[in-house]
Amino acid sequence: MRNIIYLSLLSILIALTLNGYTQIRISGFVKDAYSGERLIGANITEKGTLNGGITDNNGYFNIQINIPADLRISYTGYSFSDLLIVSMKDTLIEILLTPGKELSEVVIQAKGIIKPNVAKMSIIELLSIPSLSGKPDVIKALQLHPGIKSQSEGSSLLLVRGGNPGENLYLFDNVPVIYVNHLGGFMSVFNPDIINSIDLYKGGFPARYGGKLSSVVDITQKEGSSSEPKGSYSIGITDFSLLLEGPIKKNASYIFTGRKTLFDILTIAGSSLGKGNSYILGYGFHDLNGKISWRPNAKNSFHFNIYQGDDYLNYWSKKDKQNPDNRNRMVTIWGNWLASLNWKHVVSKNLFAEQTISYTRYRLGERQNFTYKSEKDITTYKSRYLSSLQDFSLQSGWKYQPVKNWAVNFGMKTSLMIHLPNYEFNSGQLLQVEKERTETIESALYLDNSFDLGNDFKIDAGLRFVKFFASGFKPSVLEPRLIISKDLNKNHQLNLSYMRINQFTHLLYTAGNIMGNEIWIPSDEIIKPAMSDQYTIGWTGIFADGSYQAEMNLYYKTLENLTTYKEGYISLKGVNNWQSKVVSGGKGEAYGVELLMRKTKGKWTGFLGYGWSNATRQFPAINQGNRFLFDYDRPHSASIFVQHKFSEKLTLNATWVFQSGLPYTPVSGKQLTISLEPGEDGGPVYYETFIYGERNSARMKAYHRLDLGLTLNKMGANDKVKSSWTFSVYNAYNRKNPVYYYYNTTASGEIINPETNVGDYKPNNMYQLSLFPLIPVVSYKRYFDSKNETKRTFKKKLNKWLYHEN
C-alpha cells in the first residue's frame, strides 16, 4: 500500500513537471557583454505570462518561474537575449547583453514595475539636456521633473515638494554626500561620467531610507570596464574632465574621473594684469572620483570608493613697491571627503546581503594672513574659521524573498556624527575660544515588506525605528511607511502612500552667497528634530504599446520643528554662542499636484511636466509669528524636453522651463531714523530708511527660458562614438529673469543715504538683478581605448594644480 502511495505521488510530480507546474527560483546579474558593467533596471520576463522582474541598483534580480520557462532579458539600448530554462534546480546565472539598436517591432507583454513618487532619469536623457556649462548636470536635469524646483537662475539646488535644500538625502553608492554644489549652487558635484543610474524619491520612501524630510537622490556609480583599458576626456567653457577605466588583472576593475575648472586660471591672469586693482583673485573647484571593484566569484563583489571635491577662493595682494613688507592673503575652501568599502554577497538562492562602512566629511574653512609694516614695527595678523560635519557610518542591508509573492528588505545603520558648527581663531584676541565639537549617534533598524496579494493588488509596508543620542537628549522615534498599489489593467495603476520621517541635523543656508554657505547643526533639547508626514495619491498609465507614459500625483505634507536663522542673521560668525542666532520650532505645510507625460519611442522623444503647489512657513520669532509664503514657493512650474535623433551622428534637443516668480518682502514706506553717531557739530543726524511690509507678500515676475542643443558625433569602428561636439545656446531668446530685487537710488548699486538737510535728494527705486543673457556654449569630448591611444602621464603637483597654492 505504501509503495502504491509513493508511486502515485511520483506520478503526480512527473505529470506536474511535464505540464510546466514545477517552480524554481532564478537569480543572478545582468551585465554589459563588453565592459562587464552591471545593468540597472534591466527587464526579465517569462514569455506568455505576466511574470517578471527588474534588476536593482546592483544589477541583481530574483524571480520565481515555472519549468520549462522561456525568458527574455531586455535593456534600453541593448539587443535582447532569450533563454530557455529547463533546470530543475534553483539557479544563479549571469546574463550578458550586447549594446545594439532597439528593434521597435518587438513588443514584450509583461507587467511593468512602477515605483510611485520616483523620478527616474536615464543616462541618455541626462547627457542630452542642454546646460549653461555645455556639459550635463545631474541636479539641473532632475529639476525638470514636476514637484522639483530650482532656487534661482542657474542654481543646482533641489527644492522638492515645498522642502528646503537641506532636506534632501544624496547617496553616492549608498553613502551620504553632505555638500553637493559648486559655485554656490551653480553646478553639482556629481560628475556624469561615472554615473550608472539615478533614482529620486519625492515621497513614499522605503524604510531603508531615513534622516532627511523631502527627498532621496540615489546615485549608483559605474564599476569600470573589465575588458580593456579605455576612457575619455572633455573640455567646455567651465572645466576639463578626464575618465580612465579598465581591468586590474583578473576579476577586478577600476574607474577614475577628474574634473577641474578652467576659469580660475583666467581670473588669476585677469586680476594679475589689471592695473586698476591691487589684489589677485582666483576661484575654482575640482572633483576626483575613484572606484575599484573586485569580484572573486559569482557570489561576491567588493568595492572601494573615494571622492574628494572642493571649491576654493584665493585672494592675495600684489607686491607694493613702496611697502614691500605689506602682505595680505585670504583663502576660503569648502567641500567633501568621502571613502567607503562595500561588500555584496549572494548568500543563497533567495537571500542577498550588502555591507558598507563609510566616512564622509564636509568642511568650510577660511584663513587669512595679514602683515603691515609701520614706522615703528611690523604687525602680523592671523585669523582662522572652521565649520565641519563628519559622518562615520556602518550599514548592513539584506534582501530576502521567502516565497514568490513576498519580498523582505531589512537591515540596520549606525552613524556617528561630529559637528563643529562655528569655530574662530583671531591672533589679536588675548583669550582664544576652544573648538566646541558635538558628537551625536543616530542608529536605525528598518523592515520593508512587499506583498503581491493577487488580483493586481500590492502592498509595500515598512517600519523604521530610530534612536538618537546626544548629550542629555536621547529620543526614540518610529517611522511607518505604506504604499498600496492597484493595477486597473495591464497599462494603468493607482497608488496611495504615507510616510513619516525625522531629521536630526539642520541646515542653515544663505541664498545668493557663492562662498561656502552651508552650516550643519545638531538637534538637542532646545533645537528639536524636524519631522514630516506626507500623503500622496497617484495614477500611472501606458499608452500606444508603451510609446507614451503618463503619471499624475497629488500630495499633502506637513513639517514640524523646523530651524533657520533669526531675522537679520545670515551667518554664525562673530558670536561664540551660535545658538543665539538660530530660531527653531517652525512649522510648514505644502500641497500640490504633478503631471508628467513621456514619449519613449521613435525619433522624437521627450517629456512634458507641470506642477501646481503651495508652501508656507511659520516661526514664533519671524513675521510676528504669522504664517508666510515659503521663500522658494513657486505655485506654477512647467518644463518641456524634446529630442530628435536624425541619425547616430546627429541629435537635436531643446528644453523650455517656466516657473512662477519667487516671493519677496516689499517696501511699503520710508521713515527717518536717527544715526547712532552725532554729526560734526555734535547734533543728531537723520537718515532715510525703509519700512518693510509683510514677509514674502509680493512676488517677482515669472521665470522662463529656452535652451537649445546640437550634438554631432564622429563614429568609429563597430558604430561606436569616437568623439562628439556639443553646441548649445542657453537662454535662447535672452530673457532677463530676476535673481532678486533691491531698492536703491540708482541701478549702479552705489548706496546713498541722504541726510534731511542735503539739497541733492535722490529717491529710492526698486531694481532687478539678472545674471545670464543669451550664452552660446561649445564643448568637445573624445573617447579612447588601449588600441588607439598612448598612455599619458601627469607631472603637475596636485595641490598646485587644484588650489594654486605657493
Q: Can you give 688-700 as a three-state secondary structure string?
A: EEEEECCCCCEEC
- Residues 247-291 have pLDDT tens digits of 998 889 999 999 998 877 777 777 777 666 677 888 888 999 999
pLDDT score at 503: 95
The whole-angstrom distance between residue 10's C-alpha and the CA centroid of its chain comes to 57
Q: How does the average pLDDT of the chain come out, rounded?
A: 82
CA dist., res. 339 & res. 269, Å (int): 35
25 in any annotated domain: yes
Residue 80's domain comprises 20-97
Are the C-beta atoms of residues 224 and 293 closer than 8 Å to each other? yes
Residue 21 has pLDDT above 60, yes or no: no
Kindly state the DSSP code that residue 529 receives in the 8-state scheme: P
Residue 33 maps to a domain = yes
CATH of the domain at 25: 2.60.40.4130
> What one-character DSSP code corresponds to residue 755?
B
CB atoms within 10 A of CB 84: 9
* Confidence class for position 133, pLDDT limits 50, 70, 90: low
Domain membership flag for residue 245: no
Query: What type of residue sits at position 137?
Result: D
Instruction: Give the per-residue pLDDT at 714.
Output: 87
Neighbours of 658 (CB within 10 A): 15
- Predicted structure pTM score: 0.84
Residue spans of beta strands (DSSP E) within 544-685: 548-565, 582-599, 604-618, 628-629, 636-645, 650-659, 663-664, 667-674
What pLDDT was estimated at residue 394?
Answer: 96
Contacts for 693 with CB less than 8 Å, ≥ 6 apart: 665, 666, 667, 668
Q: pLDDT exceeding 70 applies to what percent of the chain?
A: 84
Percent of the chain at pLDDT above 90? 32
**Measured in Å, how far apart are the chain's first and last C-alpha atoms?**
95
The pairing of strands 168-172 and 215-221 is parallel
Query: Distance between CA atoms of 454 and 459, rounded to whole angstroms?
Result: 11
Query: Is residue 115 predicted with pLDDT exceeding 50?
Result: yes
How many domains are there within the chain?
1
- Determine, yes or no, domain membership for 36: yes
Quick: pLDDT tens for 710-757.
989 888 766 677 888 988 898 899 999 888 888 777 766 555 555 444
How many residues in the chain? 806
Rounded Cα–Cα distance for residues 463 and 589 (Å) = 24
Residue-wise pLDDT for 395-432, tens only, equals 999 999 888 889 999 999 999 999 998 888 887 777 77
Q: Please indicate, yes or no, if residue 664 is contained in any of the structural domains.
A: no
Report if residue 13 sits inside a domain: no
d(CA 690, CA 664): 15
Query: Nearest Cα to 802, choosing from 272, 259, 257, 336?
Result: 259
Q: How many CA atoms are closer than 13 Å to the CA of 181, on its beta-carbon side?
A: 26
Asked if residue 704 has pLDDT above 50, the reply is yes
Check residue 167 and give its pLDDT: 92
Residue (of 130, 198, 120, 169) closest to 596 by Cα position: 120
pLDDT at 12 over 50: no
Q: How much is the pLDDT for 107? A: 35
Separation of alpha carbons 625 and 619, rounded Å: 6
Does any domain span residue 48?
yes
Flag whether pLDDT at 19 surpasses 60.
no
pLDDT at 498 over 50: yes
* Confidence band of 633 (pLDDT split at 50, 70, 90): very high
